[in-house]
Structure 1
Amino acid sequence: MARIFQKAIQLKSTLRYTQVSSTHRLALTNSPFTIATSHFYPSRCNTRNLTTKNAEGPKSSPPERLPFTRVTKEDLDFFRSILPGRTITDPDLLESSNVDWLKSVRGSSEVLLRPQTTAEVSQILRYCNSRNLAVNPQGGNTGLVGGSVPVYDEIILSTALMNKVLSFDHVSGIVTCQAGCVLESLSQYLEERDYIMPLDLGAKGSCHIGGNVATNAGGLRLLRYGSLRGTVLGLEVVFADGRVLDCLATLRKDNTGYDLKQLFIGSEGTLGVITAVSVLCPRKPKSVNVVFLGCGTFENLLKTFQLCRGMLGEILSAFEFLDSECMRLLNTHLKLSNPISDCPFYIVIETAGSDPNHDSEKLHNFLDEAMNAALVTDGTVATEESKIKALWSMRERVTEALTHDGFTYKYDISLPVELIYRLVLDMRQHLGDRARSVVGYGHVGDGNLHLNITSPAKDPALLAAIEPFVYEWTAQRRGSISAEHGLGLKKRNYIYYSKSSQAVTLMGDIKHMLDPKGILNPYKTLPDHLT
């Protein structure tokens, strides 16, 4: 990799670089870049899809409790008979399962069930359906929209003990596992067999693959491997009445009838409980490089992305960005030092390939061109695993840093890629000094912005200023109000900003067909008037 810089040093622009171990430093000096000052301020939106039956408009507050049965001693006796030692009623043990990761939603469930098999899940749901007991399926509880915890006293059905790998095909790279497998553990299992998971998330140490599928998590590798809708080959799902749907296929091509598994990918546990998954996994790359670059403007960042896609092609696996406000929070709250000089915007690029020499040459040519075109102002390259992890932490730990900055309002938006940072700029102007921080980061490769707004404490007036402004702004540009986190509790009534009334009505019909009593993850995903 050191030879990348031998040619670059001959450029007309003044170039400096240093090398420490396998981490390389590059920069352009005397580059007068500033943040773009041109803003686009839309008028307030009268969104065409807002046709809810709620006369007061969309709400993110909890709805009224539906008339579900409350748990009795007889119910507990039944659960203990099929789950001895795995029916939890101790309030202290229930605490963490009642509160979401952001500590913004808190339920009051008094029962946590921990099945180990699909048969046990089937027994539980058959019984709960007959008794009209509401159930909250829960994986690693890393969701950010209040979809993974009870709203009231729903029974928590945890997949934590359903954590076995059922099979792995060394030829095709298809792994079949229970829904409770932790993503990081599954990744380690595959790496030992020279494969990797197509999904990588900052929460990989806690999240479950079943929850990932239920929310259609996107993550850092979507640019290279696509979404779970393409890499998940089969599912096993238990319906509300206890019936088990076995669509646990391991075929790359199966055009026989409807693709039923797609109903449950992204359904957030409202249509059925996913108990097992088969996933197509790529081979472990022999060559991985991570580049951390600084840009002076978002326009240059987009030009760098365009150049990157054209020159790195098949080895490009990730293109992420964060702004200077994110870097400030990382430094202030987590004491993470900026690996390069201060810049308005930062890029994390990962390449993964099978030929180190080939990959190194392509990366060298890209960096050469990016510097020659004055698109980047500073940067560093890592090839060692420890250095790669250090650079990735600058992107993956932004969410953690935000939790230390105060109460966080999180928005997961999908927009045309050229518009994603305009929302951050417009939100800053819209809120003025009412917010402590307004930051933007996310996946440039798929137009996914993570907009985060913090305040010293939960502030209803600030929330009213943010919503529905953020959804109106997104709807006007035909974006999605949820790119990869789902709708959960917090966004359920804003669904019409992204989906037509006909589409939402059809979703309600499917929900009623598969879960006529509405016991599965109630108050989530669908708007209140459909539940």
Structure 2
Amino acid sequence: MLSTVRCRLSSWRLLSSISSTTSSTIKYSTLPELTKDRYPNVRRSDYSIIKSNHLEFFKDLLGEHRLITDENECLAYNTDWIKANRGYSSCVLKPKSTEEVCSILKFCYDNNLAVCPQGGNTGLVGGSVPVFDEVILSMSLMNKIISLDETAGILTCEAGCVLENLDNYLAERELMMPLDLGAKGSCQIGGNVATNAGGLRLLRYGNLQGNVLGLEAVTPNGRVVDCLSALKKDNTGLHLKHLYIGTEGSLGVVTKVCIKCPPKPKAVNLAFLGLNSFENILKVFKKSRHELGEILSSCEAIDADSLAVTTEHLKLKSPLDKFPFYMLIETHGSDNTHDEEKLNRFLGKVMEDGSVLDGIATNEPSKMKDIWDLRERITEGYLHDGYVFKYDLSLPLEHFYSLVPIMKDRVGRDAIRISGYGHIGDGNVHLSICVKEFSTEVLNKIEPFIYEYTSKLKGSISAEHGIGFRKTNYVHYSKSQEAIDIMTNIKCIMDPKGILNPYKVYPPSRRWSNFK
């Protein structure tokens, strides 16, 4: 068996073709409850209610086609894509320029109107939709590429540019975005920056805090903060751009981004492996770091239940038989002969020592896409099961998978499926607990236990999705009281009226309104 597998690995052919069949559009018979009803402890703050004179101002500024007030049309902007959170805003604004964003925010600030900035609305923690009736500021029409320095590999663009569109544009010029997400076809670069998105290749290219050279943002009272530097070295004073990276639109609205883009790799190879234990995943990852070194770009771990939602619900075909665990290992390099040789040698070693039981490898783009779909579409597949309690945590590697069996014991038969997958390369696990429908009883079994457990292991309650609305009560499990005080003081200084993305990021007991 092993020699046969090793032969197939070295031949760089898939064992069988993988179906690229996608699921039909998911239809929901009912909308999720309003967030205010599902979480009744949250109270609307004393912001103004949108009135006709407010709408007249927005209509004069944007025109009637970029002001949305129709209830049915607003619904898509009010509801997040996993159908877990829903606001009831009656006003969606779609600016096309920084100047229009300035005018909108100044008016909202002067009139005490709360604002929810929104990119592609692909967030998973309720950060991109209103909690109550906040004005929705959609950045989707600010989607122009401003410039590209091909020599230095520096792209400047507006915040509403879709990540996949940027990557396609760069690919034609032998460059790439340093960020790759399953939601790349919908998410926008401004939202990625606002949440400091991580993604599939952070292991190789790092996070956005290291790749964003500069940005432009608009303050809550409508002033432009121009930090749109294209320099890789700029050591003059405070790096103000970091006030907007990862703060989820709570301090200002990002309108333009300057980002460094690495060369598109000339050689890309992908291995998909079957294993019988998580301990073997750790062994393979450790060996991959030593054996693949500079060409290792991504290392993902998937358990059987996670893979099943794509093969069962989305009808994607796995090239491997059923195993308890799977790994995706990708390499990026400049010499395919060299990279194939390194990968073959590595795969041979992990087959010989029994860490890997079966596997395939390929460098054909279409087949690599089919394999990546098995990983990237897991969240979509879970939506067919029912309601998903989805958690994004950073844990020490030896504890990466530990919460899955623990939560199976705690939640038991209340769950349809409990699984874990994610970025083993950076310790970021995605834990999914699926139930037939939302249940407060199940929620209480999960929270705050899951955050207490994470805190005891010195982990992070949010690895890459942010805090949003869903985790504001639990920030103290990852941040000290001193750190929380500084965070809320900064919010108080930069947004004293608290109009930007209220009810999110900051602990309810320490929000800026308490400082008034």
Whether the 8 Å CA contact 2:275–2:356 is kept in 1: the answer is yes
Tell me the equivalent position of 2:506: 526
Equivalent residue of 2:401, what SS?
helix
Tell me the equivalent position of 1:269: 249
Deviation at 1:186, TM superposition (A): 0.5
Alignment partner of 1:426 out of 406, 411, 425: 406
Provide closer, same or farther for how the CA distance between residues 381 and 61 of structure 1 changes in structure 2, counting only shifts above 3 A.
farther
Alignment partner of 2:367 out of 387, 395, 403: 387
Instruction: Say whether 1:101 aligns with 2:91.
Output: no
Deviation at 1:72, TM superposition (A): 1.2
Deviation at 1:17, TM superposition (A): 4.6
Tell me the equivalent position of 2:353: 373
Alignment partner of 2:180 out of 200, 204, 209: 200
Equivalent residue of 1:322, what SS?
strand
Q: TM-score, normalised by structure 1?
A: 0.90
Alignment partner of 2:50 out of 68, 71, 81: 71
Tell me the equivalent position of 1:316: 296
Instruction: Say whether 1:23 aligns with 2:13.
Output: yes
* AA at the equivalent of 1:81: D
Q: Deviations over 1:400-450 (max 9, x none)?
A: 111111110000000111111011121112222221111000000100000
Alignment partner of 2:430 out of 450, 475, 490: 450
Deviation at 1:469, TM superposition (A): 1.0
Matches of 1:234 and 1:530 in 2, distance apart? 30
Tell me the equivalent position of 1:416: 396
Matches of 1:74 and 1:20 in 2, distance apart? 69
Q: Deviations over 1:221-250 (max 9, x none)?
A: 100000000001101000000010000111
Q: Deviations over 1:133-172 (max 9, x none)?
A: 0000000000000000011110000000000000100101
Instruction: Say whether 1:86 aligns with 2:94.
Output: no
Alignment partner of 2:332 out of 352, 360, 363: 352
* AA at the equivalent of 1:462: V
Equivalent residue of 2:311, what SS?
helix
**1:6-17 matched pairs, under 5 angstroms:** 15=5, 17=7
Matches of 1:173 and 1:16 in 2, distance apart? 39
Q: TM-score, normalised by structure 2?
A: 0.93
Matches of 2:193 and 2:238 in 1, distance apart? 19
Deviation at 1:23, TM superposition (A): 2.7
Deviation at 1:342, TM superposition (A): 1.1
Whether the 8 Å CA contact 1:23–1:387 is kept in 2: the answer is no
Provide closer, same or farther for how the CA distance between residues 62 and 387 of structure 1 changes in structure 2, counting only shifts above 3 A.
farther
Matches of 2:313 and 2:4 in 1, distance apart? 34
Equivalent residue of 2:501, what SS?
coil
Tell me the equivalent position of 1:489: 469
Whether the 8 Å CA contact 1:321–1:395 is kept in 2: the answer is no
Whether the 8 Å CA contact 1:60–1:490 is kept in 2: the answer is no
Equivalent residue of 1:213, what SS?
helix
Tell me the equivalent position of 2:19: none
Whether the 8 Å CA contact 1:270–1:522 is kept in 2: the answer is yes
Matches of 1:23 and 1:68 in 2, distance apart? 61
Alignment partner of 1:215 out of 182, 192, 195: 195
Deviation at 1:24, TM superposition (A): 3.7
Q: Deviations over 1:439-491 (max 9, x none)?
A: 00000010000000001111111111011111111011010000000011110
Equivalent residue of 1:446, what SS?
coil
Q: Deviations over 1:373-425 (max 9, x none)?
A: 11100111111110000010111011011111111000000011111101112
Whether the 8 Å CA contact 1:61–1:490 is kept in 2: the answer is no
Q: Deviations over 1:182-223 (max 9, x none)?
A: 000000010011100000000000000000000011000100
Equivalent residue of 1:421, what SS?
coil
Equivalent residue of 1:235, what SS?
strand
Aligned residues: CA RMSD = 1.6
Tell me the equivalent position of 2:266: 286
Equivalent residue of 1:203, what SS?
coil
Matches of 1:114 and 1:487 in 2, distance apart? 25
Equivalent residue of 2:391, what SS?
strand
Whether the 8 Å CA contact 2:214–2:228 is kept in 1: the answer is yes
Equivalent residue of 1:349, what SS?
strand
Matches of 1:19 and 1:447 in 2, distance apart? 27
Moved more, 219-228 or 521-530: 521-530
Deviation at 1:16, TM superposition (A): 5.9
Matches of 2:13 and 2:6 in 1, distance apart? 14
* AA at the equivalent of 1:315: I
Instruction: Say whether 1:507 aligns with 2:481.
Output: no
Q: Deviations over 1:100-140 (max 9, x none)?
A: 11111111101100000001000100110000000000000
Whether the 8 Å CA contact 2:9–2:360 is kept in 1: the answer is no
Whether the 8 Å CA contact 1:62–1:489 is kept in 2: the answer is no
Matches of 1:504 and 1:522 in 2, distance apart? 16
Alignment partner of 1:469 out of 430, 434, 449: 449
* AA at the equivalent of 1:338: S
Whether the 8 Å CA contact 2:219–2:252 is kept in 1: the answer is yes
Tell me the equivalent position of 2:379: 399
Whether the 8 Å CA contact 1:427–1:438 is kept in 2: the answer is yes
Paired residues in the alignment total 489
Equivalent residue of 1:187, what SS?
helix
Q: Deviations over 1:337-357 (max 9, x none)?
A: 221121110001111111111
Matches of 2:11 and 2:276 in 1, distance apart? 27
Matches of 1:23 and 1:518 in 2, distance apart? 57
Matches of 1:443 and 1:186 in 2, distance apart? 23
Whether the 8 Å CA contact 2:299–2:327 is kept in 1: the answer is yes
Whether the 8 Å CA contact 1:62–1:151 is kept in 2: the answer is no
Matches of 1:61 and 1:204 in 2, distance apart? 33
Provide closer, same or farther for how the CA distance between residues 134 and 479 of structure 1 changes in structure 2, counting only shifts above 3 A.
same
**1:218-233 matched pairs, under 5 angstroms:** 218-233=198-213
Q: Deviations over 1:65-89 (max 9, x none)?
A: 0000111111111111110121111
Deviation at 1:494, TM superposition (A): 0.6
Q: Deviations over 1:252-290 (max 9, x none)?
A: 111111111111111001000000001100001111111
Instruction: Say whether 1:478 aligns with 2:458.
Output: yes
Whether the 8 Å CA contact 1:287–1:356 is kept in 2: the answer is yes
Structure 1 segments (4+ residues) deviating >4 Å? 13-22, 59-62
Matches of 1:276 and 1:397 in 2, distance apart? 29
Identity %, equivalent residues: 53
Matches of 1:25 and 1:497 in 2, distance apart? 46
Instruction: Say whether 1:185 aligns with 2:165.
Output: yes
Q: Which runs of 5+ in 2 are unaligned?
A: 17-37, 512-516
Instruction: Say whether 1:241 aligns with 2:221.
Output: yes
Equivalent residue of 1:304, what SS?
helix
**1:32-51 matched pairs, under 5 angstroms:** none
Tell me the equivalent position of 1:42: none
Whether the 8 Å CA contact 1:134–1:520 is kept in 2: the answer is yes
Equivalent residue of 1:368, what SS?
helix
